[in-house]
Structure 1
């Protein structure tokens, strides 16, 4: 039986969704409640924090990239939990203009599909009663989405809280908690969002602090009582593994791979063989494919350049078996990477790609890719849905393009990825992060 759930959302990014979500998960877990977390939209970092707080893997649910059956099937991961807590992305209704598989990628799509009531985090800084007007707009915008209540954030004083609460009383919207401004309750950030969970030595202590902070200022019993919804059991087409034995780069430089992909690969019988390029480890020679996920190679470019065993082992592997890199993994497969300070670091050299962070430019959005060549495990002709999020500038991309890539409006983008044939295999890479094969018909 599926447990009831809630979706934590807001009117905008930066309102405090992640802080509240982690605090709620940790606070309920401290009470003995088994919480299953989810994250709306494409995001690698928040789910890792969710997992640390809940002790259960957090899965992404994405209405643009995933079909309704896939979302329902992933939601089955909540079986055995007492409560589901999903975290939204950006504002509640923010998505792209043209729908994908089941929606525009908005968190509201997931709330509507699952029936999970929304608890909105309202950033009250710089306003009082007007905060209720913002929440009233959230409550009325879509008839298929239920706003169950709000948690006030960045409350400056008791007087401020009283004024804000008066506005919500007039609007008839329940206030489930009020979080005072407290600069010590925050998570460190960098250019792609939060610092990764695995990089924080005080993570357990920080989660304990968040749990106590949220428990002290929110009505946990009332919040849990609002939970409802759930999806019926569903089957889906899983993402096929790229090989039977997959050498997977896995460390602080290569950590961006979706849990549902790993779950799909394992469900198909594949064996995952992790190795650490930062520890100068080469891919397992018994593997039949090597996969380098995204991450932060720009922060570890010097260490990667010095990892002679990794680079030599990767080159040997690529002579007879396919190697594929996504985003950071793609950059690591290239010839060189220029760090933010202007220093060029030699990369693996299996592709001619040269990238630079000396002049950062953000590339962000959903992507639909049609590979020109079959990727490992994926037959030619399979359209793929995913996203791109990086700050690298391409200085040179001399190898043949890997795919035709479009954004969510159907416009072609320049980041096509690239490929290079070796003696017995193919090296490929792309800035595109795979989420799922497209199931809806897409025009060629």
Structure 2
């Protein structure tokens, strides 16, 4: 039996990730096995979770995944002592239209798994009102249980006392209060947190966060508030087909956004993954039968990609006989050109006609449901794919045959159709699952 909690907040930017990492490392330092999950489509936080716990973390997504898939994924916590699911945005924030098993809200996961919520509250600029917010979240949805609260960024002992008293009077447990401590803030980039593998000091940062939180939070009381949970046998597993038997996977600082459950599903289906680095000017393995370019930050490395002659020529040669697919940043690299934030145009691989620009930032964000008009690796024409799109590039040209009819979460058709030319395909969304 594992002690299980969902860590959430009223909004983004309150400190969910820092608290999750700190608690995970603090309990791991006590000799406990800790398993983390990430609610929603964020593909950066799971790498931080793995750094804190030493165990792979995966996403749980109620909009894109059915209950069987979610049950299958959480079963990896069967041998853990503590299970933590970090939420995204605010506790009840999701899309307007229901997906496969929910709206993508953290509350969906909490209710589905019957795990109580540990709420992170930042009372900056307020005092007793923080208790009203916590009480509102506690009472908003009957199926969601509140374990208690950790206060973050309290200004002074007097400030803490005012907020604590109001919360206790509202019948809400307070497990601790964290003073402002800038040294443990996680650095950010426009898509969210900077990736864990980009930070050489990530271990020290998490250790400091764990030390700080252990000083100010009653870890034993938090554990006592958790649910005693053991996984139920899942009726079905992951609904993700591998794109091929031997997959050449671009993997480096420019190509790192890939959902862990996707790679696990490919391997579980018998596929072999052969990583290569375009930034090191490596070409895809000649023995692979498909090449997959994930998203990442190609705009930060566009000059190196453009000058990587061996990678570009090797990928073009590969695509003459075998399929190549790119997601988001990988799709941009399959295109003709990418203009960076400084307005410099860089030639890409030219397998597709797509041209994108970061000179004028335009955010594209949200869930996507795509019906394939043409096959792509692992999926036939007509397949309905669920994914998520998040980038700041502008489409200058997208002249090739559309790969899919793509809808947002409201059902509206969007212009980011993806592309297909010859054996090359690409999408702006990151694939999460195929509808059964």
Runs of 4+ in 1 over 6 A off after TM superposition: none
| 1:374-432 alpha-carbon deviations (Å, 9 max, x no partner) | 111112221011111000000011111110000000000110011101xxxx1000101
User: What are the equivalent positions in structure 2 for 1:269-418 lying under 5 Å apart?
Assistant: 269-418=270-419
- 1:192-203 equivalences in 2 (<5 Å): 192-203=191-202
Instruction: Tell me the secondary structure at the aligned position of residue 368 of structure 1.
Output: strand
For 1:68 and 1:167, how far apart are their aligned partners in 2? 38
| Counterpart Cα distance in 1 of 2:349 and 2:156 | 55
Partners of 1:284 and 1:259 in 2: CA distance: 21
Give 1:74 deviation, angstroms: 0.4
Give the distance between the partners of 2:86 and 2:192, measured in 1 at CA.
15
Match of residue 428 from structure 2? 431
Contact 1:51/1:57 (8 A) holds in 2 = yes
Please tell me the root mean square deviation across aligned C-alpha atoms, in Å. 0.8
CA distance in 2, matches of 1:27, 1:237: 31
Partner in structure 2 of residue 71 of structure 1: 70
Matched residue, 1:217: 216
Instruction: Report if the CA contact (8 A) 1:371-1:383 is conserved.
Output: yes
Asked whether the equivalents of residues 387 and 434 of structure 1 are also in contact (C-alpha less than 8 Å), the reply is: yes
> Separation in 1 of the partners of 2:2 and 2:270?
28
The TM-score normalised by the length of structure 2 is 0.98
Q: How far 1:230 moved relative to its partner? A: 4.7
Check the 8 A contact 2:238/2:265 in 1, yes or no. no
Partner residue of 2:28?
29
Give CA deviations for 1:43-66 in whole Å, capped at 9, x if unaligned. 111111001001001110000000
TM superposition shift of 1:237: 4.6
1:228-249 alpha-carbon deviations (Å, 9 max, x no partner): 1454110225311000000000
- Name stretches of at least 5 consecutive residues in structure 1 with no aligned partner: 440-444
Deviations 1:316-345 (A, max 9, x none): 100000000000000010110000000001
Aligned residues: 434
- Whole-Å separation in 1 of the counterparts to 2:225 and 2:409: 34
2:249 corresponds to: 248
Structure 1 residue 3, shift from structure 2 partner: 2.1
User: Aligned to 2:119, what secondary structure does the other structure show?
Assistant: strand
1: distance between equivalents of 2:238 and 2:153? 44
Secondary structure in structure 1 of the residue aligned to 2:79 = coil
C-alpha distance in 1, partners of 2:369/2:65? 12
